[in-house]
Amino acid sequence: MHVLITGAAGFIGSKLSKALAERGSLGDAAGKPVPISRITLLDVNEPRPPPDAAVEMRLQAGDIRDPEQLRSALTPGTKAVFHLAAVVSGQAEADFDLGMGINLDGTRTLLDACRELPEPPKLVFPSSVAVFGGEMPEVIRDDTLATPRTSYGAQKAICELMINDYTRKGFVDGRVMRLPTISVRPGKPNQAASTFASSILREPLQGEQAVCPVPVETGIWIMSPRRVIAALLHGCDLAAAMWGEQRILNLAGLTVTVREMLAAMERAAGTEALERVRMEPDQQITRIITGWPARFDSQRALGLGFQADADMDEVLRIFLEDDRITPGA
Amino acid sequence: MHVLITGAAGFIGSKLSKALAERGSLGDAAGKPVPISRITLLDVNEPRPPPDAAVEMRLQAGDIRDPEQLRSALTPGTKAVFHLAAVVSGQAEADFDLGMGINLDGTRTLLDACRELPEPPKLVFPSSVAVFGGEMPEVIRDDTLATPRTSYGAQKAICELMINDYTRKGFVDGRVMRLPTISVRPGKPNQAASTFASSILREPLQGEQAVCPVPVETGIWIMSPRRVIAALLHGCDLAAAMWGEQRILNLAGLTVTVREMLAAMERAAGTEALERVRMEPDQQITRIITGWPARFDSQRALGLGFQADADMDEVLRIFLEDDRITPGA
């Protein structure tokens, strides 16, 4: 089968293309593993192939809003699409039209391009905790109403509904997974309101200073990059029948407070690391973050075989093993 | 103020333009009545003005998907828009692209045209019980998750989220009301799956034969046209502060079974009328209709001053008073 990854130059896209190339197979509609013969990496920035990939990699730089780009990225053999291309929360809030263009129109364009394929491909779509906001129950369940209070969240919730309906119509075989905030992300801070959830750990562990813009008692629902990749692959592998009619799923994440995150870092790297974090409350970010729920009843995800990180120490160990850039390197 | 009605040539549009012209005013952002100086009727079919309208009426035939049509229908003085243009459920299911085009793209185009106005207009949008489906609680509450199982329902749910976010951003002042199935609609059957909820009453009361495609024990959540118009006007009149952050509302409707509908008709027009109804179950329609919920806890709507029809006898009386075409006339 052929596989397409959009937003492939991002950090999840890079880790996913590496994991797919190493694995060499994906589940078909019935969940049976089928060899991958080609992976197409599409991104607005020139994507780079994973080193030493044993699978044929096609690289394509292009805009997700352009139907022609998508038609050329998809082949009659495309059986799975990982649609990671997105504008992050802070950016979608600051530039409404860009968010609507990439997050909504881009997804619609992709769905319509998938409809033209001879067979409905699996479509894996990471959604977000940002579909929740405002008045919410204390614990979010699978049947909790999505009440986004950011444009990013609204765009994700709209895409969820579109993918569910395109799936019902048999145009795609959609699998929507609402991701917790990813921590610890490698690289640099981005425009996501939640970027601090990585930078307050990543920077100190790499010998740099960091700013924490929210109070230490702030609760947050997180997942390590390794678990995110595993979840996207598992969600794709699962037979269509396991997903059933409702293709929108809250993943199983780890609920921690910022205080617990910092305490785990102190255990892992000492007081020295902790002292690199400066508390500098930012009202705008605190408002967005405390508007997102932190506690989930992830019954359905666990029943489908998805897994959460065990604890904050594991989350940090994964960062140190997979992504830390040694200070001075 | 100027008022725009889209889908103005439809039956709700016609009743609404008549009611607005008679009333001559609408609430402003604070709920204070302001005189209406002009009503623009936009429809893909040439709209007709209500007879003897005391308010200036502008008639415009045009496609809701065309930004130029919307720009010319809106004026700097437009303070309220009733967005009624839509493709009905059966048609949106049969022609997916038409449904997406009118119900989703049309609404988006309207929202973007409203953004260009000097002041965010009130935007009244009738949504539908069709946003629900699949596994649901027995009684639908205001915080029940929307789980559409038709393209029409998905498109309505998507528009709800868009309008809520455009409102949050200050681009429009949205008011989304989920309407029960309207009964008794005047005129002819249409392509809505729910069209029988009117035709099994309207046709016999007008001396004609009718077919009932669902079992008599089927429950259905209904509202008379008179109450629908009252609800749209009340929803528009209300101060923005009364609506608050969550602009999506389940209206208060009347829950009845088909058996109760027919019994009320027998009371109103005798056995003769009842005998004009032939039971002819249709699996496709029954599947759609029984997939919609029939029982609602309409706490918020009632608290905001919306009202349901008292009983089935009242619903029939309203039809006889407002809309019945006397047999042979």
pLDDT band of B21, cuts 50, 70, 90:
very high
Between CA B26 and CA B101 the distance in angstroms is 30
Assess whether pLDDT exceeds 70 at residue A329: no
Percent of chain A with pLDDT strictly greater than 90: 91
- Residues β-bridged to residue B59: B41
- Token code pair at residue B263: 């019994």
Between CA A33 and CA A26 the distance in angstroms is 5
Between CA A160 and CA A168 the distance in angstroms is 12
ipTM of the complex: 0.94
Percent of chain B with pLDDT strictly greater than 90: 90
pLDDT band of B328, cuts 50, 70, 90:
low
- Determine the average pLDDT of the residues in B15-35: 96
- Determine the average pLDDT of the residues in A7-36: 96
Q: What is the pLDDT of residues B120-175, one digit of tens each?
A: 999 999 999 999 998 899 999 999 999 999 999 999 999 999 999 999 999 999 99
- Per the CB < 8 Å rule, is B245 touching A134? yes
Does residue B152 have an active-site annotation?
yes
Q: Which residues contact B59 (CB under 8 A, 6 or more apart)?
A: B40, B41, B46, B47, B48, B49
Which of A145, A161, A246 has its CB closest to that of B134?
A246
- Per the CB < 8 Å rule, is B165 touching A154? yes
- Token code pair at residue A248: 């929108």
Range A2-179+224-250: architecture per CATH: 3-Layer(aba) Sandwich (3.40)
> What's the gap in Å between the CA of A160 and the closest CA on chain B?
9
Q: Which residues contact B49 (CB under 8 A, 6 or more apart)?
A: B17, B41, B57, B59
Say if CB B142 and CB B168 are below 8 A apart: no
Residue B85, pLDDT score: 97
- Residues β-bridged to residue B140: B296
Between CA B86 and CA A212 the distance in angstroms is 48
Assess whether pLDDT exceeds 90 at residue B53: no
Assess whether pLDDT exceeds 90 at residue B255: yes
Kind of pairing, strands B254-257 and B277-279? unpaired
- Per the CB < 8 Å rule, is B154 touching A145? no
Between CA B275 and CA B268 the distance in angstroms is 13
How many CA atoms lie less than 13 Å away from A16 in the CB half-sphere? 34
List the single residue in B with minimal CA-CA distance to A158. Answer: B158
Percent of chain A with pLDDT strictly greater than 70: 99
DSSP code of B53?
-
**Residue of B144, B158, B171 to mutate for A, most A C-beta atoms under 10 A:** B158
Q: What is the pLDDT of residues A198-242, one digit of tens each?
A: 999 999 999 999 999 999 999 999 999 999 999 999 999 999 999
- Per the CB < 8 Å rule, is B246 touching A135? yes
Assess whether pLDDT exceeds 80 at residue B327: no
- Per the CB < 8 Å rule, is B169 touching A148? no
Residue B219, pLDDT score: 96
Assess whether pLDDT exceeds 90 at residue A255: yes
Length of chain B counted residue by residue: 329
Say if CB B166 and CB B111 are below 8 A apart: yes
Between CA A110 and CA A114 the distance in angstroms is 6
Residue B96, pLDDT score: 98
Residue B169, pLDDT score: 98
> What's the gap in Å between the CA of A278 and the closest CA on chain B?
32
- Per the CB < 8 Å rule, is A158 touching B161? yes
- Determine the average pLDDT of the residues in A87-116: 96
Q: Which CATH number fits domain B2-179+225-250: 3.40.50.720, 3.30.980.10, 2.30.42.10, 3.90.1150.10?
A: 3.40.50.720
Does residue A209 sit in helix, strand or coil?
coil
pLDDT band of A326, cuts 50, 70, 90:
confident
| Phi and psi at residue A80, to the nearest 5° | -150, 135
Assess whether pLDDT exceeds 60 at residue B329: no
pTM of the model: 0.95
Give CA separation, A215 vs A218, A282, B85, B277, in Å.
6, 9, 47, 67
Assess whether pLDDT exceeds 90 at residue A53: no
* Residue positions of A annotated with a catalytic role: 152
Q: What is the pLDDT of residues B189-207, one digit of tens each?
A: 888 889 999 999 999 999 9
- Token code pair at residue A72: 């050329």
> What's the gap in Å between the CA of B295 and the closest CA on chain A?
18
Where is average pLDDT lowest: A163-167, B113-117, B287-291? B287-291
Say if CB A286 and CB A214 are below 8 A apart: yes
Please count the residue pairs, one from chain A and one from chain B, whose beta carbons lie less than 8 angstroms apart: 54
